[in-house]
């Protein structure tokens, strides 16, 4: 059984004596990544600031490596846990090495003098976040992504057992987000660092987390593995999504469908129809889609965005059962988009649809721009 490094039981967190979120409970073995997700203002940051000692616990218990949070001095807590919060850090006239070296404060005494060993730990932390080449640069002169890596190095230089991060991917581009989360995953797996963080990017939370906790309406709305949380309608209910769709199968978010009678019929499949569905939605053109197998990569997106979707069950040997209704729908449209899906024996009905359009004098396009 893996050693427990962090345990929170029946926690109520808030400001002053006013609760913001209640009954938060989790137990994390070493090397676990727990991610908090949920709507803005739900209390994610309040939880993180409370379990890290930034706010007082209103009720419940927080145990860090078997020790009660309430019984740890600030210096003792700093040797067990480090923080990377959303506050913008703007130290004046400091190099990136000096900023990262601030993580050694629990060990350097009141004068803050670094030993040779301390310096080596800082250099190692910078290397682990791929920022060793930034060591002598002015911290304020580097990019947001580089600063975030330096601040992560500062947290790692603290040599914590637990790392708390509040929206660590804020201000980062997609490459920087991937790099940062890859570093966190490596720290958890290779060094058994326990990580608790909040993320707005739920698709990234699904990919990097061992456990996910959804916070809504001042309480824990859901908690479990990514496979449990990102299934069914959990995410839609967590965020109260009324318009648009979160597709659990692909982790993508789709805009609301365009309402009205279909003007375009998209003949797609195997993912080829996806860019056409989204382009038509951006242009606010209602469309139909088909014929698709129900296990097709694009089937869920088609259901979210198209006025009508013509489909057959997964692994059906032919699409002929859906051909009649699909052809009727197609012949009522102004144009047909051929997405370019390769035609074989099982989807030969789609070739017949394209032939029907041409026979009826309906334009068949291979690009969305042909309708402009």
pLDDT for res 54: 92
pLDDT for res 224: 95
More confident of the two residues 242 and 99: 99
Place of tokens 């060993």: 117
DSSP string, 321-365: HHHHHHHHHHHTSSEEEE--PPP-STTHHHHHHHHHHHHTT--EE
- Which uninterrupted H or E stretch holds 37? strand 33-37
Sequence length of the chain is 372
Beta bridge mates, 159: none
pLDDT average, residue stretch 151-161: 94
Rounded Cα gap, residues 301 and 278, in angstroms? 9
Rounded Cα gap, residues 144 and 192, in angstroms? 27
Name the token pair of 208. Answer: 């990097």
DSSP string, 197-262: EE-S-HHHHHHH-SEEEEEETTEEEEEE-HHHHTSTTHHHHHHT--SSEEETTTTEEEPPPPPSS-
Q: Do residues 169 and 89 make contact, with C-beta atoms less than 8 angstroms apart?
A: no
Domain 257-371 in the same topology as domain 4-239: yes
DSSP string, 86-135: SSPP--TT-BHHHHHHGGGTTTSTTTTPPPHHHHHHHHHHHHHTT-GGGT
Q: Does domain 257-371 have CATH number 3.40.50.720?
A: yes
Q: Please give the backbone phi and psi of residue 271, each rounded to the nearest 5 degrees, phi first.
A: 90, -10
Average pLDDT, the chain: 91
pLDDT for res 241: 84
Indicate the CATH number of 4-239 among 3.40.50.11440, 1.10.10.60, 3.40.50.300, 3.40.50.720: 3.40.50.300
Q: Do residues 8 and 61 make contact, with C-beta atoms less than 8 angstroms apart?
A: yes
Rounded Cα gap, residues 32 and 35, in angstroms? 10
Domain locations in the chain as residue ranges = 4-239, 257-371
pLDDT for res 59: 95
Is 344 in a helix, a strand, or coil? coil
Place of tokens 């051929």: 338
pLDDT average, residue stretch 167-173: 87
pLDDT for res 370: 61
Name the token pair of 368. Answer: 């969305």
pLDDT average, residue stretch 257-267: 95
pLDDT in tens, 38-73: 999 899 999 999 999 999 999 999 999 889 999 999
Contacts of 51 (CB under 8 A, 6+ apart): 6, 8, 11, 13, 62, 69, 164, 196
pLDDT in tens, 103-148: 998 888 776 788 999 999 999 999 999 999 999 999 999 988 899 8
| Whole-number Cα distances in Å, 294 to 58, 73, 304, 314, 327 | 50, 58, 13, 5, 18
Is 15 in a helix, a strand, or coil? strand
Q: Do residues 245 and 253 make contact, with C-beta atoms less than 8 angstroms apart?
A: yes
pLDDT average, residue stretch 181-185: 93
- 251-253-259 Cα angle (round to 5): 140
Q: Please give the backbone phi and psi of residue 369, each rounded to the nearest 5 degrees, phi first.
A: -75, -10
């Amino acid at each position: 059984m893996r050693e427990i490094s962090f345990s929170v039981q029946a926690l109520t967190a808030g400001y002053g004596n006013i609760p913001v979120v209640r009954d938060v409970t989790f137990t994390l073995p070493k090397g676990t990544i727990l991610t908090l997700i949920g709507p803005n203002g739900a209390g994610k940051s309040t939880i993180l600031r409370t379990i890290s000692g930034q706010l007082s616990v209103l009720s419940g218990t927080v145990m860090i490596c078997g020790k009660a949070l309430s019984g740890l001095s600030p210096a003792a807590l700093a040797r067990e846990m480090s923080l990377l919060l959303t506050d913008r850090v703007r130290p004046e006239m400091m190099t990136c090495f000096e900023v990262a070296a601030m993580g050694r404060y629990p060990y350097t005494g009141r004068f803050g003098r670094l030993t040779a060993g301390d310096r080596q730990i800082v250099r190692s932390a910078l290397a682990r976040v791929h920022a060793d080449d930034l060591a002598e640069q002015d911290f304020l002169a580097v990019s947001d992504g580089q600063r975030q890596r330096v601040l992560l190095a500062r947290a790692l230089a603290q040599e914590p057992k637990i790392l708390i991060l509040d929206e660590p991917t804020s201000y980062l581009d997609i490459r920087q987000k991937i790099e940062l989360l890859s570093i966190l995953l490596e720290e958890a797996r290779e060094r058994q660092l326990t990580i608790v963080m909040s993320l707005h990017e739920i698709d990234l939370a699904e990919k990097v987390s061992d456990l996910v906790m959804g916070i809504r309406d001042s309480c824990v709305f859901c908690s479990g593995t990514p496979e449990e949380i990102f299934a069914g309608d959990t995410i839609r209910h967590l965020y109260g999504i009324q318009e648009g769709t979160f597709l659990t199968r692909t982790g993508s978010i789709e805009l609301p469908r365009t309402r009205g009678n279909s003007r375009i019929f998209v003949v797609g499949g195997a993912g080829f129809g996806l860019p056409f569905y989204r382009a038509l939605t951006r242009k606010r053109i209602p469309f139909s889609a088909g014929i698709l197998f129900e296990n097709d990569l694009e089937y869920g997106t088609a259901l979210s965005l198209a006025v009508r979707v013509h489909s057959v069950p997964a692994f059906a040997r032919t699409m002929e059962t859906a051909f009649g209704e699909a052809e009727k729908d197609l012949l009522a449209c102004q144009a047909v988009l051929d997405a370019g899906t390769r035609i074989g024996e099982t989807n030969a009905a789609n070739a017949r649809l394209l032939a029907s359009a041409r026979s009826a004098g309906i334009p068949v396009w291979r690009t969305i721009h042909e309708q402009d």
